[in-house]
Amino acid sequence: MDSDIQRVKQRFGIIGNSDGLNRAINIAMQVAPTDMSVLITGESGTGKETFPQIIHENSARKHAKYIAVNCGAIPEGTIDSELFGHEKGAFTGAHESRKGYFEVADKGTIFLDEVGELPLSTQVRLLRVLESGEFMKVGSSKVQKTDVRVVAATNVNVEQAVRDGKFREDLYYRLNTVPILIPPLRERREDIWFLFRKFSSDIGDKYGMPPMDVTDDAMRMLENYRWPGNIRQLKNITEQMAVIERDNSISPDLVRKYLPEVDVTNLPALPKKEANYSFSSEREILYKVLFDMKKDMADLKSLVYDLLENGVDEATNKAEHTEILKDISEQTPNLPSKRPEEYINPAPVSNHSNYVNPVDNNSSAQHKEIIEDTEEYVEESLSLAEKEKELIIKALDKHKGRRKLAAGDLGISERTLYRKIKEYDIDA
C-alpha cells in the first residue's frame, strides 16, 4: 500500500509524508473503485481539489467525463440551470435548450466544490439525484435519468450549518457516505521544508532563478507558523521571496518581513476570570455590580468586627484588611481620600459619633492608640423612616434650627418638613 501511495503522490504532484496526508490518500484509493458518494472536508488552501481527481482516475469511470463545479462561484439564480440544464424559454435569456453538468457527466464523475454554498432549493434537487439518479431541467416537467458519481468538498463546518438550518441534514448524510479529512498545514510541519523547496525550485526553473537557501532558524520559524492560508499561502510567500529578494539566503529577518505575525505564540491562552461573564442585558450587569458590592460590604463588616473585638494591634489579618480597603477605595472614587492604614488606625473621633472611642490621655507616651469596645455592637437599622428622621435631625443641627434652610438642603418643601417634624416627634 505504501508503494501505491507513493505512486499517487508522483502522479498528482503531492508533496509530503505526514500521517494525516497519507491516511487521506489511502481512503481515497480504497473508495475509488466503488460508486459511494464522498465528502472531502478541510480548510481553504489544503489541496482538496486533488482528491476527487485521485478518486476518478482510480475508478471504473476514469474514461468518462470528469467535471469540477465551484458552487460558490455560480450565482444563486443560475445554479439550477448550470447543474441540471434548462429548456428554451424557461426564463428571460433562455433562447435555446441547454444541458446541465449532471447530464453532460453521465457515466462519469462530478466534483461539487464548496457544496456548503448551495441554496436550499438546489439542495433538494441534488438530494433527488443522489437518491434516485433523477432530475428535471429548469422549465421542464420531463424526468431524466443520469448515472453520475458525486464527490463534494467544503471548507465550512457542515454539521454547524445543519444546526443553523443552512444545509439539509438528509443531504449531508447522503453526501457524507465516506468522509475524507485533509489536514491543515500546521498539522504537517514535517512537510513544510519539502513544500518550500518544491515551490522555490518550480519558480526558479520557470524564470531562470537560482534556488533559495533557508537557514535553520528561518526554517524553524516557518515550521512554527500557523499558516492560516495553508499550502496556498506558503506557495505565495515562497514565490514572493524568490521574485522580490536579491539575496537567495532566507534569514529569520526576511521571514519576519513577509510574515510579521510569525513570532506571535499560538499557544492557547487562559481566559481571565472576568471573561467567563457574558451579559445579555443591562439587568445582568447591575446584578453583578450589586453582588460585588455585597461582597465588599461583607469584607468591611468582617474587618470592623475584628477591630472592635481585638483592637488595632491585635487584629488578625491586618495586612489583608489593609488590602481590602485599598481595593475598595480604588473602585469607589467618592470615598474620602484616606490611605487604607488610616481606616485601620483612625484618629480619635468626637463624642457625637455612634461608637465611643475613648483615648487614654497618656497615649502619646505609649506611642500607640488602643480602641476599646465599650458598647455592644448593634447592627445598623435599614428602616427608611429611621434614616429619614436621622437626616432631618442632621439638617436642623447643620442650620441651627432654621427650618427653611434645612428644608432646602433636604430637597423638600417647608410645609413637608413641618409635617415630618411633627410625625417623628422631633424636638426642634
pTM (2 d.p.)? 0.61
Percentage of residues in the chain having pLDDT higher than 90: 53
Residue 267 predicted with pLDDT over 70: no
End-to-end CA gap in the chain: 105
- Please state the rounded mean pLDDT for residues 209-218: 89
Rg (alpha carbons) of the chain, rounded to whole number: 40
Q: Which three cell numbers stand for residue 385?
A: 423612616
- For domain 384-423, the CATH architecture is Orthogonal Bundle (1.10)
Residue 160 predicted with pLDDT over 60: yes
Percentage of residues in the chain having pLDDT higher than 70: 75
- For domain 187-263, the CATH architecture is Orthogonal Bundle (1.10)
Residue 182 predicted with pLDDT over 90: yes
Which of these, 259, 199, 182, 169, lies nearest to 223 by C-alpha position? 259
pLDDT number for residue 311: 60
Extents of the domains making up the chain: 2-183, 187-263, 281-366, 384-423
Residue 286 predicted with pLDDT over 60: yes
Give the number of other Cβ atoms within 10 Å of residue 24's Cβ: 24
Q: Which CATH superfamily is domain 2-183 in?
A: P-loop containing nucleotide triphosphate hydrolases (3.40.50.300)
Q: Which residue has the higher pLDDT, 365 or 210?
A: 210
Task: List, for residues 331-373, the tens digit of each pLDDT value.
Answer: 555 544 445 455 445 555 444 444 444 444 444 444 444 444 4
Residue 329 predicted with pLDDT over 50: yes
pLDDT number for residue 281: 52
- Please state the rounded mean pLDDT for residues 82-101: 91
pLDDT number for residue 262: 75
pLDDT number for residue 200: 92
Which amino acid belongs to residue 105?
A
Q: Which residue has the higher pLDDT, 276 or 121?
A: 121
- Indicate the helix (H) or strand (E) that contains 250: strand 249-250
Residue 106 predicted with pLDDT over 70: yes
Q: 149-154 and 143-145 as β-strands: parallel, antiparallel, unpaired? A: unpaired
The Cα-based distances of 160 to 41, 166, 266 in angstroms read: 13, 9, 25
- Please state the rounded mean pLDDT for residues 142-159: 95
